[in-house]
Amino acid sequence: MTMENLLDAALYTRSTLMIVPLIIFCFLPVWQDIKSTPQRLLLKVLTAFAAMEMIMYFLYLLLPPVTADTVNEYLCIFVFFYLYQKEIALKRSHLWFVFMTACLIGSFGFLFYTLTNIVLHPASVIEDPVWSDVLLLEIAFESLLVLILAWPARKYLGWLVHHFQEEAVWNVIWLIPFGFMIFASVFIPYDNSVMHTGRFLKVYGITILVLSALLLFIYVLFYKIAYSIVENQKMIRKTASLEIQAQQYHRLQTYMQETSRLRHDFRYQLTVLAGMLKKKQYKELEQYLDQYIVSVSDAPVRYCSSYAVNAILNHYASMCRELGIRADLNIRLQESFAVEDSDFCILLGNLLENAIDGCKSVPEDKRSLILKIGQTAEHVIALQISNPYEGLLNKNEGRLFSSKHEGEGQGLKSVQLIVEKYDGFFDIRCEDQIFEVKVLLNF
């Protein structure tokens, strides 16, 4: 191996400096998801870059230039992506698209390099080492592209990878930048002098411009379609939430009507008792009271000052008795609290119904439900509810999905909307087959 071979390998290896702007671009849309500190990340990137430079140098020594170019290109892609996805707390399919977009920018840089090389070095052929002037122009061009695309990448590409969750789309959309990358790697002349014949150079440049416009159109279209899908999904969730609230309002109305009927019946019973007492019908009074006590053994309990909340709690307490669920309801609320009855009843109804559904999945002797509600401060309500369950919960990335239908559980989603309305706190825990929800409301 001669000194000339060593020098040529070094000249070829320096062409990999063009990936530096691309590395920066990869982190722009996902900067908030980086696991390491900026200092540690920089150290890791520099170490990986130096190691890859050494590997590529030896590959240029051992292989023909064109073969080494291809091997090094794909080696860089897979090694750097492996390290990249280790550093970012996002789905791999989303990161792969960001990475392929960076490679797409690199492909444009490579085409710019080829076009510049044709103009500045008309006698050059594909095996020649990279020209320093052309390499510097390519790095400058890529850096300019990254600078121009930094804001759109942060805003639009960043939004896509964080909000668009259609995995079927992410699994195929990367083929667009990847396909262009393959095209760019073969869309190069073997001999630059040929490109100066006839209109080859003009056609070459126009083709690059047309492809650039087409890719820009595809990316904008992808963003608009993804945005429409996400907004449509939000609308569906809001509609489902409104339907749940409508159901809860209907239940609430039923409970309040039932409470009103019971109060009317109670007044009637008092009138009858007063009449017997005035007539001194003590024996009949005693019999009537005995019968009444039996009939009201399951009479509504007063948990707080709100008739609506009492109706909700009594309804679910009755349901627990019917299902053999031991319900421990510990309610300590002030006589007046500023949370709207409708909101609080919807929240309670969803949590209690969810807890009862969980209890249904366990044997009757293990069914229990614990509900604690109290005011930790004058304007703060804390709520904790727990119940046993069996089986696996359909949970993904902190969101709980319904076992009754496809999609996210709307009951807990409705609870979350109410918690957000009152600037509160909402936490779900599943440990040792116990499902626990904690809610904090500020009012």
Q: What is the pLDDT of residues 116-134, one digit of tens each?
A: 888 888 887 766 666 778 8
H/E stretch holding 215 reads helix 200-278
Determine the Cα–Cα distance for residues 40 and 83; give it in Å rounded to an integer.
Answer: 13
More confident residue, 245 or 107: 107
pLDDT of residue 76: 84
Q: DSSP for 123-154, please give it.
A: T-BTTSPPPHHHHHHHHHHHHHHHHHHHHHII
Tell which phi-psi region holds residue 159, choosing left (phi > 0), alpha (psi between -120 and 50) or beta. alpha
Examine the pLDDT at 226 and tell me if it is beyond 70.
Answer: yes
Phi and psi torsions of 435, nearest 5°: -95, 125
Task: Give residue 53's pLDDT.
Answer: 81
Of all residues in the chain, what percent carry a pLDDT higher than 90? 27
Per-residue model confidence (pLDDT) at position 420? 83
For residue range 86-99, what is the model confidence (pLDDT) as tens digits? 999 889 999 999 99
Per DSSP, the three-state class of 300 is coil
Binned at pLDDT 50, 70 and 90, residue 408 comes out as very low
CA dist 294 and 15 (Å) reads 92
What does the CA dihedral 165, 169, 171, 172 come to, rounded to 10 degrees? -160
- Find the mean pLDDT for residues 151-167: 92
Q: Which residue has the tokens 């020209």?
A: 131
pLDDT at 371: 95
Residues 6+ apart with CB under 8 A from 376: 382, 440
- pLDDT for position 404: 47
Highest mean pLDDT among 137-141, 148-152, 285-289: 148-152
CA distance 367 to 359: 5
Identify the band that residue 5 occupies on the pLDDT scale cut at 50, 70 and 90. low
pLDDT digits (tens, 9 = 90+) for 250-261: 766 666 676 676
Lowest-confidence range among 67-71, 182-186, 240-244, 375-379?
240-244
Q: 12 Cβ partners below 8 Å, 6+ apart?
A: 60, 65, 68, 69, 129, 130
17-21, 57-61, 211-215: segment of lowest average pLDDT = 57-61
Q: Average the pLDDT over each of 51-60, 153-162, 257-266, 332-341 and give the range with the smallest value.
A: 257-266
pLDDT of 401 reads 41
Look up residue 6 and give its two tokens. Answer: 């060593």
pLDDT at 213 over 70: yes
**Domain residue spans of the chain:** 3-197, 241-442
Give me the mean pLDDT over the 363-390 stretch.
91
- So what's the pLDDT on residue 153? 93
- How open is the CA angle 183-185-190, to the nearest 5 degrees? 115
d(CA 69, CA 11) in angstroms, rounded, equals 12
If you average pLDDT over residues 210-219, what whole number do you get?
92
Of 120, 140, 142, 141, which Cα lies nearest the Cα of 131? 120
For residue 170, the model assigns a pLDDT of 93
- DSSP-based three-state secondary structure for 12: helix
Four-residue CA torsion sign, 197, 199, 205, 211: negative
The model's pLDDT over 24-61, given as tens digits with 9 standing for 90+, comes to 999 999 998 888 888 999 999 899 888 888 887 787 77
| Average of per-residue pLDDT across 73-86 | 88
Higher pLDDT, 285 or 266: 285
Mean pLDDT, the chain, rounded, equals 82
Domain boundaries 241-442, corresponding CATH code:
3.30.565.10
pLDDT beyond 70 at 298: no
| DSSP secondary structure, 217-282, as one string | HHHHHHHHHHHHHHHHHHHHHHHHHHHHHHHHHHHHHHHHHHHHHHHHHHHHHHHHHHHHHHTT-H
What is residue 396's predicted lDDT score, i.e. its pLDDT? 46
